[in-house]
Amino acid sequence: MKVFWFFLVAHSKNTFRDRMTLFWFFGFPVLFVFLFGLIFGNAGSSWDVRLGVVEDTRLSFVLSVFGNVKGVELSRGSQEEELEALRKGQRDVVVAFEEGSIVFLAPPQHAEKAQFLSGVLRGVLLEEELKRHGLLSPADVTVRTLAFPRFRQIEYFLPGVLAMALMQLGLFGSLDFVELREKKVTRYLAALPVQRSVLLLSEVTMRVGIALLQTVVILASGWAFFQVRYVGALLPLLSWVLFGSATFVSLGYLLTSFARTVESASGLVQMVQFPMMFLSGIFFPPEMMPQSLRFVVRLFPLSYFGDALRYVTVGVPTQFGLRVDFLVLFAWLLGSFLLAVRFFRWE
């Protein structure tokens, strides 16, 4: 046990003495939060809906359904006017009557809003149909004012920064071990009566400790600078942070198993890190991407990690569901760990 603590302290000193490492692990994520917060921090809710209703007597009841719904801004006009406003970005969703059906028209980035509104309307129509056939008494009907979840863009963005920081910690943190291997330090340690697994375990433990510290720094920055309110419980947050950190640490060690030098390992890690950073939907909803790129979101573990962190920190509804997030990350963790053990080299 003394050997483990010795290596843990040594790894920590080696990390915290490097100012550039400290900047990339702590300063860079906080700078990201601050700069993007200045841009998006005061932006309106991404869940406010500008709803256009085509003037049609068959759609008059739509106005009564959504007229008192909090977060819905109603507009009325001819079909040509409302569709033109939709194309110009002045409407999020337009309701029209086409070929005997009520149609909710929306661009890809507002598809979720259209799905939500159509679900509300289908529920109202079903209730009226049941009443008409005597299957539901009027006394059983209650009227509720629906309130849309309201999130500022900074509240969507901040968990993405946390996911990005933990990903970088896991991937780039493994470069330290490559440096030890390149300088043949691990070969010298092999001559000592020390289990090599103790050295590796101490390094991983240090990374997990930094991950928890990163989480505190980033969330505190969001609260201090932009009054981000966190709604999740502490235990689920810590569980997901540890789970995600372990996944990317395993992936980092897997990647560096195929590199002989720090330079080649750094290039290999960057080839994986950059696509994940910009194509995982951690900074903006995937609906804003071109249709041809949206399938890429489902390939990266960072997509599911960011999705889970948004839910457990600020309560943004998940895109995939927490169960899917867990299963995909677990598959990446298990696969990366087993392959890293298979191809891991001490020298």
Domain boundaries, the chain: 2-43+151-343, 49-140
- pLDDT for 331: 95
Distant-in-sequence, close-in-space partners of 291: CB < 8 Å, separation ≥ 6: 108
Residue 236 has pLDDT above 60, yes or no: yes
Structure tokens at 191: 């001559």
Residue 238 has pLDDT above 80, yes or no: yes
Which of 65-74, 106-115, 160-169, 315-324 shows the lowest per-residue confidence on average (mean pLDDT)? Answer: 106-115
Specify the fold of 49-140.
D-Maltodextrin-Binding Protein; domain 2 (3.40.190)
* Rg, the chain, Cα only: 26
Mean pLDDT highest for which of 17-21, 31-35, 291-295?
Answer: 291-295
CB atoms near residue 122 (< 10 Å):
11
- pLDDT for 135: 42
Residue 146 has pLDDT above 80, yes or no: no
Structure tokens at 30: 């906080």
- pLDDT for 128: 59
Band (148; pLDDT cuts 50, 70, 90): very low
Q: From CA 190, how far away is CA 65, in angstroms rounded?
A: 73
Please report which residue ranges of the chain form alpha helices under DSSP H: 2-16, 19-22, 28-40, 60-66, 79-87, 111-132, 153-173, 175-182, 185-190, 196-226, 234-256, 262-279, 294-297, 301-314, 322-343
Higher pLDDT, 44 or 26: 26
| Amino acid (1-letter code) at residue 14 | N
- pLDDT for 133: 47
Band (309; pLDDT cuts 50, 70, 90): very high
Q: Report, as an integer, the average pLDDT of 76-98.
A: 82
- In the predicted model, what is the mean pLDDT of the chain? 75
Q: Report, as an integer, the average pLDDT of 15-31.
A: 62
Q: From CA 232, how far away is CA 158, in angstroms rounded?
A: 14
Higher pLDDT, 239 or 132: 239
- pLDDT for 321: 82
Distance of CA 112 to the CA centre of its chain: 17
Q: Report, as an integer, the average pLDDT of 181-207.
A: 69
Distant-in-sequence, close-in-space partners of 26: CB < 8 Å, separation ≥ 6: 213, 214, 217
Band (298; pLDDT cuts 50, 70, 90): confident
Higher pLDDT, 291 or 315: 315
DSSP class of residue 174 equals T
DSSP string of 87-127, one letter each residue: HTTS-SEEEEEETTEEEEE--GGGHHHHHHHHHHHHHHHHH
Higher pLDDT, 154 or 212: 212
Q: Report, as an integer, the average pLDDT of 213-238.
A: 87
Coil, helix or strand for 227? Answer: coil
- pLDDT for 137: 44
- pLDDT for 143: 28
- pLDDT for 35: 53
- pLDDT for 44: 46
Band (155; pLDDT cuts 50, 70, 90): confident
- pLDDT for 27: 67
Q: Report, as an integer, the average pLDDT of 310-335.
A: 88
Which of 21-25, 171-175, 245-249 shows the lowest per-residue confidence on average (mean pLDDT)? Answer: 21-25
| pLDDT > 90: percent of the chain | 11
